[in-house]
Amino acid sequence: MTKTNPGNFFEDFRIGQSIRHATPRTVTAGDVALYNGLFGPRFAVQSSDVFARTIGYPRSPVDDLLVFHVVFGKTVPDISLHAIANLGYAGCLFRAPVYPGDTLNAVSEVIGLKENSSRKTGVVYIRSTGFKQDGSPVLEYVRWVMVQKRDATAEAPADHVPRLPALLDPKVLGAGCPPLDANAYDLVFAGSPHRHGDYHKGEKIDHVDGITVEEAEHQIATRLYQNTARIHFNQFAESKGRFGRRLIYGGHAISLARTLTFNGLGNAFHIAAINGGRHVAPIFAGCTLFAWSEVLDTSELPGRADVGALRLRTVATKDQPCADFPLKVHARAGQGPDPGAGADDDPAVILDLDYWVLLPR
């Protein structure tokens, strides 16, 4: 009898199935430093303990996307070891700050299944929650992922596509941010003079810069998250697959796009929620990623005079600067799951993300 874990194929999942994922992970200052070295984020709150304490944090919180990736990585061996592609996200809420020394674990529930017409693959819809060592939740999100079938002729569970929220209510956005002293927020040290009130609905921002995706950095990053999906690591297998090479983890592209947004959104220090996101097309090592953002809405938070929220749509492209935005994208990120790109997607677009950020008022 084998002692190895072959991973779950599409026909192994069932609606309502609950999975407690292995390997709790203590996040250290070393993880933070490595994440900074791989992506280069410059947001002051996550960069300086002194800056963070001055405005009301006990110390610099861990970057929101590093928290997301660590929790996501816990789920991969059980959910997406045999993934063809991670397709999108919805209902993602950051519930509490995470600090170096906190230990994260994850639990997932299968909330939807849909077999594809080829019968070789299917889409699995998962709600995952990340917890601290004391059992308190720090993050929850839904994702949908295309997974191989072990046997194309095997009977699959009946299709059920869940209804997903298109937008998270601004009332819940303050959970992941403690009360802050906005007057103590140093705009010079933060690197941007623009507070919440300086942005308006409909404003578009070209983030100007580009970052080339490196194979070595991607390999280090996904290992940092303990993301074991074979499509990212096994060139021997992927050389025989659809693309003939390893696929860059979609979250890697999200982190690079987030880093690019600093130029124009330097005080958007906290991702409070992700309403929806779609990986429009794959990205590979050697591609250069660019990004632009649109302010979809602005909002005050109930009972909070210190911070306000911006709803942003960030679109990332490969090998095409964004001066001529908006590029045509088939489906808006917040409109729910769309397993594939549409015929009118611009081929340069690789990511369409709809999310809320917090800025000082």
Q: Given this model, what pLDDT does residue 157 score?
A: 81
9 or 334, which is more confident: 9
Check pLDDT > 90 for residue 334. no
Average pLDDT over residues 296-321: 96
Q: For 216-239, how does the pLDDT look when each residue is reduced to its tens digit (9 = 90+)?
A: 999 999 999 999 888 898 889 888
**Residue 360, beta-bridge partner list:** 307
Q: For 84-122, how does the pLDDT look when each residue is reduced to its tens digit (9 = 90+)?
A: 888 899 999 999 999 999 999 999 999 999 999 999 999
DSSP character string of 331-354: S-GGG----S--TTS-TTEEEEEE
158 or 8, which is more confident: 8
Dist. CA 229–CA 72, nearest whole Å: 11
Q: Given this model, what pLDDT does residue 342 score?
A: 46
Q: For 139-160, how does the pLDDT look when each residue is reduced to its tens digit (9 = 90+)?
A: 999 999 999 999 999 888 888 9
Does 2 map to a domain? no
- And the tokens for 28? 């250290």
Look up the CATH number of the domain holding residue 336: 3.10.129.10
The H helix count followed by the E strand count for the chain is 9, 12
Check pLDDT > 50 for residue 251. yes
Dist. CA 112–CA 144, nearest whole Å: 9
pLDDT tier at 340 (50, 70, 90 boundaries)?
A: very low
Amino acid at 194: H
Check pLDDT > 50 for residue 337. no
Dist. CA 66–CA 46, nearest whole Å: 11
- And the tokens for 20? 């407690």
Average pLDDT over residues 325-334: 50
Tell me the average pLDDT of the chain.
Answer: 92
- And the tokens for 318? 């490969």
Helix axes 64-79, 29-39, angle to 10 degrees: 100
- And the tokens for 266? 């330097």
Q: Given this model, what pLDDT does residue 333 score?
A: 38
Q: Given this model, what pLDDT does residue 241 score?
A: 85
Amino acid at 239: S
- Coil, helix or strand for 79? helix
Our count of domains for the chain comes to 1
- And the tokens for 103? 């230990």
**Distance set, CA 16 to CA 9, 13, 110, 114, 354 (Å):** 16, 9, 5, 14, 27
The DSSP secondary-structure symbol of 296 reads E
Average pLDDT over residues 349-356: 95
Q: For 40-91, how does the pLDDT look when each residue is reduced to its tens digit (9 = 90+)?
A: 999 999 999 999 999 999 999 999 999 999 999 999 999 999 988 888 999 9
DSSP character string of 175-210: GGS----GGG--HHHHT----GGG--TT-EEE----
Check pLDDT > 70 for residue 184. yes
- Name which of 167, 203, 206 is nearest 320 in CA terms: 206
Which structural domain, as residue segments, surrounds residue 82? 10-360
Range from 211-220, 248-257, 321-330, 333-342 carrying the lowest mean pLDDT = 333-342
pLDDT tier at 328 (50, 70, 90 boundaries)?
A: low
pLDDT tier at 302 (50, 70, 90 boundaries)?
A: very high
Q: How does strand 103-115 pair with strand 121-131? A: antiparallel
Q: Given this model, what pLDDT does residue 329 score?
A: 57
State which H helix or E strand residue 357 sits in: strand 349-360
- Name which of 119, 287, 160, 263 is nearest 205 in CA terms: 263
For 340, left (φ over 0), alpha (ψ -120 to 50), or beta? beta
Check pLDDT > 90 for residue 274. yes
Which residue has 């860059």 as its token pair? 248
